[in-house]
Amino acid sequence: MSTLLSTRPLDTVADFPAIPSGWAYLDTAATAQKPQPVIDAITRAYAQDYATVHRGVYQRSASMTYAFEAARERVARFIGAGAADEIVFVRGATEAINLVAHSWGQRLQAGDRILISALEHHSNIVPWQMLRDRTGIEIDVAPLTDDHRIDLDALEALLTPRTKLVSIAHVSNVLGSIADIARVASAAHAVGAMLLVDGCQAAPRLAVDVAALGCDFYTFSGHKLYGPTGIGVLWARADILAGMPPWQGGGAMIETVSFERTTYAPPPARFEAGTPHIVGALGLAAAIDYVESIGLDRIARHEDALAHAARDMLRSFNSIRLFGPDNSAGIVSFAMDGVHPHDIGTILDEAGIAIRAGHHCAQPLMERLGVAATARASFGIYNIDEDVARLAGGIEKVVRIFG
């Protein structure tokens, strides 16, 4: 099995105080544990440096404003954005997609179409359905290939001049399959459509360059990237953001307010009404520093190796059905004949192994796979070979209990 080629040791678990010895945390796709540098950055921000941003004229506020905007610049560099003002801070990818649906989506009208895929998270389905119900747009769904990837040939065949937006996951949160975003961008743009990419599962393990990908919107959540909850990112090109109206009103997003009329601030402030999650942005910047100190290419190789080992181990049980392609970006979903995934999760928990069991906020995908739910093991930078061995022992216990 490959090792994490870095100045750090393979076993980075020492950086994660919430992972006790003997506990295999295999639910990183749901939320990642937090390394000490991120915890320290959050603690320092609240305990020593805290003040509001953009408003105070005193030194502490000015310093915190500088740190907050430096975090925005850090995010921009992380994903290859053209400028910091292309970065909008939101609560997470769910809010980012809703922002696009409510703001950019105002230009759509009955008869326009949005194209998504069969493997999308509910957060990339429901906002478009809500927009459909408001405007009369139509939604097309690209199917999957036999090895559970987005069928790009079928996706391209569904594109028409009426397609205004394609919105797909960079990496599936259930299957771990990686989409060819550059190909999708080229096909979407050929018919005049724009492309939104849900990067929640990609940003923690793949080097993201939005310019090279060719997408128009990119979103991700901080808590899956070893950062805090309640902070996320919407990226869009400056010209796109400039043409979008605000979707929430309040402080910070205005230029002037009177009882007669209000004028709005330019992006990104236009989309950040109210006091922002200041410390969350600082924690996200610290998380980016942490993963880049290890190297995203090294993280990807390490997680891929663990996922391959897990898939090989699970194949040794003839009662187990695996989902997704073999190169499944650190995510392994499976089902066991005659055993509900919740029972698998409970028994594994008793053995000190944490996995996810359920529909993973992807009920249409479960229907496509022919199951009500799956068990999912997902790996992070703190996982080691022994965690796969623990998982194997836990599955053997499930088999003994259920025969």
Confirm if 218 and 199 have CB atoms less than 8 A apart: yes
Is 361 catalytic? The answer is yes
- DSSP-derived pairing of the beta strands 163-169 and 113-117: parallel
Dmax over CA atoms of the chain, in Å, equals 73
Distance of alpha carbon 51 from the chain centroid: 29
Contacts for 260 with CB less than 8 Å, ≥ 6 apart: none
Reduced to 3 states, what is the DSSP secondary structure of residue 93?
Answer: helix
Pick from 229, 316, 398, 184: nearest CA to 198: 184
Q: How far apart are the C-alpha atoms of 33 and 19, rounded to whole Å? A: 8
Cis ω for the linkage preceding 276 (within 30 of 0): no
Q: How far apart are the C-alpha atoms of 173 and 30, rounded to whole Å? A: 8
* Catalytic annotation, pick one of 130, 296, 361, 399: 361
Q: What is the DSSP string of 269-285?
A: GGG--SS--HHHHHHHH
Confirm if 138 and 116 have CB atoms less than 8 A apart: no
Pick from 232, 240, 237: nearest CA to 83: 237
Alpha carbon separation from 156 to 128, 159, 183 (Å, rounded): 20, 5, 10
The residues that are catalytic are 361
